[in-house]
Amino acid sequence: MNRLSLNQITTERWSLAEAVRGCAEAGLPAIGLWRDKVAETGTAEAARLVREAGLVVSSLCRGGFLTATGPDERRAALADNLRAIEEAAELGTDTLVLVVGGLPEGSRDLAGARARAADLIGELAPHAGDFGVRLAIEPLHPMFCADRAVISTLGQALDLAAPFPAGQVGVVVDSYHLWWDPDLARQLARAGREQRIAAYQVCDWTTPLPADALLGRGHVGDGHIDFAALTRQVTAAGYTGWVEVEIFNEQVWRTPGAQTLRTLMDRHSTYVEPYLAPSGGSA
């Protein structure tokens, strides 16, 4: 379990303190934090809780929402992302996940939204570098293109990252968002060559989709994704970081946290861990 991390949205009903305690008791070495939970606790207190529990913060979710039009909205987005960078640094993680945002209300200008996101990432990148934090651009599934993220593929995220030093801007490989992409193997290899993989997040694609589609993610192994193949590709790309389990699912959220942790550790050992070693999973 030495590469496994709980993204705390998976235990959404737990406070930050409860999630930290839960990970420590279950023997998980790392946790991915969410800004709203950190804000409830206070950043300094959150950092202290994690440190005293002996955990590592694998990432902070999330900055972004960079597609707004208008100078006031742009300034607000910039200020909020600068705060997120500082919070990540204070929490001791080098990874700030960015969800770039969807189309502004009433707009159909996808190209414009993408250009504005690129522009703001350009402003943020050097600040992130100053704080030792890497912006991790997360492509979301194309079904979220209108309302959550106009960056939909790994190739697109890598193009967006390309102008910046790899230490300042990377990408998130999330199984749920990317598994369907016919170009995925090629883009994962490219991400490896360009040293851009900042995070590997896992959960499964289950059907049928619920309304709004946001909460339809399943435990690894409950759906259609081939985690052996995907994990081998991520490993072959040279990724040696955390495997963060991030599940948005009302039923998982209603399950007691300790039970959820047992399930994800069990699934990790079956579906992911054997394929993390450089030559793993050949058996």
124/184 with CB nearer a second copy: 184
d(CA 38, CA 46): 6
Nearest Cα neighbor of 112 from 124, 97, 123, 100 is: 100
Q: What are phi and psi of 195, to 5 degrees?
A: 55, 50
37/268 with CB nearer a second copy: 268
Least separation in angstroms between residue 222's CB and a second copy is 12
C-alpha dist (Å) from residue 237 to 82, 109, 173, 185, 273: 30, 34, 11, 10, 16
d(CA 165, CA 99): 19
Nearest Cα neighbor of 60 from 21, 24, 99 is: 99
88/272 with CB nearer a second copy: 272
Least separation in angstroms between residue 82's CB and a second copy is 27
Identity at 54, one-letter amino acid code: G
Least separation in angstroms between residue 264's CB and a second copy is 19
Least separation in angstroms between residue 46's CB and a second copy is 32
Binding site for a second copy (CB under 8 A): 103, 108-110, 114, 141-143, 145-147, 152-153, 155-156, 179-183, 205, 207-213, 223-226
Least separation in angstroms between residue 14's CB and a second copy is 27
HEC sequence for 196-231: CEEEEEECEECCCCCCCCCCCEECCCCCCCCHHHHH
Are 26 and 258 within 8 A, CB to CB? yes
Least separation in angstroms between residue 189's CB and a second copy is 15
Q: What is the DSSP letter of 274?
A: G
Least separation in angstroms between residue 196's CB and a second copy is 17
17/215 with CB nearer a second copy: 215
- The CB-side HSE value for 70 (13 A sphere, CA atoms) comes to 7
